[in-house]
């Protein structure tokens, strides 16, 4: 169970990283300092309480809470500083794809548990579903970019140099399978 909280927490951490890096590159370090100083009491006081009462699950929940607060703070400041507009882009560009990804991941994990896959089979299914999820997200949120990228890839495969490498990769795959 704690794995789910950690995955969501690290997802939020990855989302906040974009805003964090932007703010640093823009020379706005005050928010980073404030955020770090605000996290210190949380980590020193609240996290041990969660760990004492709930063990590893408490640590994961505490991490999730910390990353949720941190992500929303960074996205709010990022929106005010760089976009100076409506925060609706957060819903469209971040929360919608994240929600779809989490739902697909949950369904995949539930199906793997129901069928009784081994660890390796679950890993293979997770990788395949990750690729399918990316494709679905591109179709839903960035269709034009997906089509132009696929056209570029197909054009490059028509080039002789890429074709040779592609056939070598296929031979290696067939050799090891």
Q: What is the DSSP letter of 6?
A: H
Q: How many CB atoms lie within 10 A of CB 46?
A: 14
Please tell me the predicted confidence (pLDDT) of residue 41: 92
Q: For residue 109, what are its two tokens?
A: 């994990």
- Residues 36-65, mean pLDDT to the nearest whole number: 91
pLDDT tens for residues 131-158?
Answer: 888 888 877 777 677 667 767 766 666 6
Please tell me the predicted confidence (pLDDT) of residue 166: 63
pLDDT tens for residues 12-24?
Answer: 888 888 888 888 8
CA angle 118, 105, 98 (to 5 degrees): 155
Structural contact between residues 90 and 79, judged by C-beta atoms closer than 8 angstroms = yes
Structural contact between residues 68 and 99, judged by C-beta atoms closer than 8 angstroms = no
Rounded Cα distance, 151 and 160, in Å: 16
Rounded Cα distance, 97 and 146, in Å: 15
Would you place residue 88 in the very low, low, confident or very high pLDDT band (cuts 50, 70, 90)?
low
pTM of the predicted protein model:
0.59
Q: For residue 83, what are its two tokens?
A: 């976009």
Place of tokens 């709010």: 76
């Amino acid at each position: 169970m704690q794995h789910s909280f950690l995955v969501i927490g690290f997802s939020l951490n990855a989302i906040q990283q974009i805003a964090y890096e932007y703010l640093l590159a823009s020379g706005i370090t005050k928010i980073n300092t404030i955020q770090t100083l605000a996290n210190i009491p949380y980590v020193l006081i609240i996290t041990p309480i969660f760990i004492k009462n709930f063990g590893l699950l408490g640590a994961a929940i505490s991490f999730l809470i910390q990353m949720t607060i941190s992500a929303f703070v960074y996205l709010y400041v990022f929106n005010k500083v760089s976009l100076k507009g409506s925060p609706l882009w957060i819903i469209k560009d971040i929360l919608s794809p994240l929600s779809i990804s989490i739902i697909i991941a949950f369904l995949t994990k539930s199906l793997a548990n129901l069928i009784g896959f081994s660890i390796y089979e679950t890993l293979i299914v997770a990788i395949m579903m990750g690729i399918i999820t990316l494709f679905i997200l591109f179709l839903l949120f960035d269709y034009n970019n997906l089509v132009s990228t696929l056209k570029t890839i197909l054009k490059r495969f028509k080039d002789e140099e890429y074709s040779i490498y592609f056939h070598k990769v296929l031979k290696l795959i067939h050799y090891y399978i």
